[in-house]
Structure 1
Amino acid sequence: MRVSNINSLPSHEQFAVWLASPLGQYVLERERRFFDRAVADVFGYYAVQLELPGLPLLQANRMPTRLVAGLSDGCQLSCDPRQLPFPAASVDLLLLPHTLDFHPDPRAVLREVERVLVPEGRLVLTGFNPRSLWGAARLGKRRRGVPWQGQFLSLPRLKDWLALLDFEAEGGRICCYAPPLSSPRWQERFAFMEAAGDRWWPVGGGVYCLEMVKRVRGMRLIAPSWKRAGARVRQVAVAVPDRHSPHEE
């Protein structure tokens, strides 16, 4: 996306333009690997990515219906993430690539996500970590420009919101430990911090990546009838030895 004045765009579209910069590519390279792994083995019928239509983050998934929804130009389905045009419990997988960072009402977005996901449905999201070198840079830049005007929701706060909506963590990681320097040469000099960060500063990376599952209280998953029948057959087939040995009579 090329525009003459990036500041004239909505925040989520400004962020999409920023991802093409050297620093944006540094973030995107690591997030792509996370999304590819997180969505590869999620099965169902409907998968939805909210915002960033220029990034096919669902390409590693094999569901028959995969689409991008949001307010950005280029989305297959134009809608506010707070008001998704899907019935309740109809979507199997939802991706939020920094969607919460650049939406004015992230809690409303999460409530809508909870509404449309099926029980045991998957939520995969990424966000900027304020408790990192990136958070410090954001304060230094007075929260101006891209991506520093984003909300940078803290991980404990976000997990509290998700817990209230009955989401449970299934996996995740922290990445982008190097300071947010625009020069590729300086990025290379700080490349050692990626491996060191995972070991010595595991919560201090600039980006967090989460895999969540929607749980439904009181719901009991019922196994297919053929499995239950097989279990009964196996129980009948178990041999029970006679309590009295013939040698004891």
Structure 2
Amino acid sequence: MDSAASDQSIIALDGWLQTPAGLYVRAWEQACLDNLTADIFGFNAVQIGMPQIDALAASRMPHRWLADTRVRPRLAPSPAQQPELRRQVAVTLDYAELPFASQSLDLVVLPHVLEFAAEPHQVLREVERVLIPEGRLIICGFNPASLWGARQVLGRVGGSYYLPRAGEFISMPRLKDWLKLLNMGASQSHFGCYAPACRTEKWLHRYAFMDNAGARWWPYLGGVYIVQAIKRVKGMHLIGPAWSKQTATTPAVVPVTNKRREQQDG
């Protein structure tokens, strides 16, 4: 996938996020991200892509930015849908070349970026570079091992896709393998959106009971997932003060019994 195709796929994602299914996904991801970011402390946090949600709304970090490939116009609230949550882009960038210094960020959030990026491995390498040791990474993605993933596979045969066509969806085990190669261990994972692949708000509401049932009975089959990872740096140890060892200056004490034996032996 070249850069032009990547831009077109991102535009397709923007349109899909305005559908009832897209609003359903955004509501679940916003609630989950609020719970995750509220307990992550630091100074600098960046959300890359998907300005339709505010992934850092609950973050307590003093410096928070939204970065994207381009500045997008704000949309007027629609009477038929909930108000648009699109935020102002503060930094424009290329996903594969992040304009941040090495080890300068405490938290990076990638909502549906890897699936539509031309070079997802390079994106992860750049994120690993800019994160400080023990920094946090949060990734949102569509789950191919779900009812939505199965519907997407059937769409390739019939030509009727449910999710954006150009997306290359990454399974949870595959994503964890990529993170492991970069010394980033997954600390938390969450699945959501268990309703079938319905296109109307009416049918999505009818299957709302499946969110509670799915989280209990088939937790790994949600339509979307969120993974939190921590950057690990090998060979790092806490080093205490180098206390200088005092050399023993007192003479060795000879036991009294040895002294008596020496006197008796002359």
Q: Equivalent of 1:150, from 159, 163, 167?
A: 167
Cα separation, 1, equivalents of 2:17 and 2:35: 20
Task: Identify unmatched segments of 5+ residues in structure 1.
Answer: 1-6, 226-249
- Aligned-residue offset at 1:85: 0.7
Equivalent residue number for residue 122 of structure 1: 136
Larger Rg computed on CA atoms:
2
- Aligned-residue offset at 1:221: 4.5
**SS at structure 2 position matched to 1:16:** helix
Task: Identify unmatched segments of 5+ residues in structure 2.
Answer: 73-88, 242-266
Cα separation, 1, equivalents of 2:50 and 2:168: 17
Q: Does 1:32 align with 2:49?
A: no
TM-score with structure 1 setting the length: 0.82
Q: Equivalent of 1:182, from 191, 196, 199?
A: 199
Cα separation, 2, equivalents of 1:179 and 1:86: 40
Cα separation, 2, equivalents of 1:215 and 1:20: 37
| C-alpha contact (below 8 Å) 2:137/2:228 kept by paired residues | yes
Q: Does 1:99 align with 2:113?
A: yes
Indicate the RMSD between aligned Cα atoms, in angstroms: 2.0
Query: Deviations along 1:134-184, whole A, 9 cap, x unmatched?
Result: 111111222857524211111111100001111112212111111121111
| C-alpha contact (below 8 Å) 1:173/1:208 kept by paired residues | yes
Cα separation, 1, equivalents of 2:238 and 2:211: 40
**SS at structure 1 position matched to 2:220:** coil
Q: Does 1:136 align with 2:150?
A: yes
User: Which is worse superposed, 31-40 or 67-76?
Assistant: 67-76
- Aligned-residue offset at 1:133: 0.6
| C-alpha contact (below 8 Å) 1:174/1:208 kept by paired residues | yes
Cα separation, 2, equivalents of 1:150 and 1:42: 30
Q: Percent identity?
A: 47
Structure 1 residues 219 and 195: alpha-carbon distance in aligned structure 2, compared to 1, 3 A threshold:
same
Q: Structure 1 runs of 4+ off > 4 angstroms? A: 143-146
Structure 1 residues 222 and 34: alpha-carbon distance in aligned structure 2, compared to 1, 3 A threshold:
farther
Q: Does 1:161 align with 2:175?
A: no
State how many pairs are aligned.
Answer: 217
